[in-house]
Amino acid sequence: MAIWTKIITLFRGAAHEAGTAVVDANAMRILDQEVRDAQNALLRSRDDLAKIMAQRKIANDKLNDKKAKQAEYSNYIREALARDNRALAQEVATKLATIEADIATEGKIIGEFDNSIAKLQSSARQAETVITRLKQQIDTVKATESVQRAQAALAAQHAGTGAKLGTALDSLERIKQRQTERAAQLEVAEELAQATGEDADLQRRLAQAGIVPGESSAESILARFESPAPKALNHDGTPQLSQPGVASKTS
């Protein structure tokens, strides 16, 4: 039983939370409907007030008629007594007693009508004042809610713009980094090319000076063949003399 009680309590709590969430989500709509219900109730109370005032008028007209009868019968009694007709005066007095009783009853009814009318009028004025203030507060709440929605939209838009700007700045930084690396690579390549050019120029000038061997060309090959062959040296470093037999044999 305890478990079922807790389950039922859980369902009741969930239903309450769901109901509260629905009420909170539709608070303005509910408030507007409550104001409309209050206005309709005020209109009905005014209709009831009009009916009571109409009934009071009818009762007051009856009261005035009875008061007129009262004055009329009072004159009849005085005139009958003046003529010493006590029996007739007694009969008229009996009718007058009934009329005066009706006058008293109608007076009480009219008094009750007056009290009801006064209460209804006071309640209607209070309700109208409350409804007017409530409508003003609702307008203020709606305006505040609209402003807050606009502020929330602007904040969300600003946050999205900030995120987009942050992404754009990151992309820009990456582009700048790549450009910096590319510029460094081009600078190194230029330095290497310049160094290679200087080395080539130096090698060319060294080759022209005969310090280092240059590239073979037709002119250099002919010059090599046209130049006399170097003479052989003796052990003491003196040039060897050519032998006649060898020379003639060679010739």
Per domain, the residue ranges of the chain are 2-178
What pLDDT is stored for residue 101 in this prediction?
A: 93
What pLDDT is stored for residue 58 in this prediction?
A: 92
CA 218, CA 224: separation in Å to the nearest integer? 10
What pLDDT is stored for residue 54 in this prediction?
A: 93
Secondary structure (DSSP) of 5-43: HHHHHHHHHHHHHHHHHHHHHTHHHHHHHHHHHHHHHHH
Q: What is the pLDDT of residues 111-146, one digit of tens each?
A: 999 998 998 889 888 888 888 888 888 888 888 878
Look at phi and psi of residue 227 and say left if phi exceeds 0, alpha if psi is from -120 to 50, else beta: beta
CA 180, CA 186: separation in Å to the nearest integer? 10
Mean pLDDT of 200-211: 66
Q: What is the pLDDT of residues 144-174, one digit of tens each?
A: 878 887 888 777 766 666 666 667 777 778 8
CATH of segment(s) 2-178:
1.10.287
* DSSP reduced 3-state for 233: strand
CA 154, CA 66: separation in Å to the nearest integer? 77
Confidence of residue 237 (pLDDT cuts 50, 70, 90): low
Is the pTM higher than 0.75? The answer reads no
Mean pLDDT of 57-77: 92
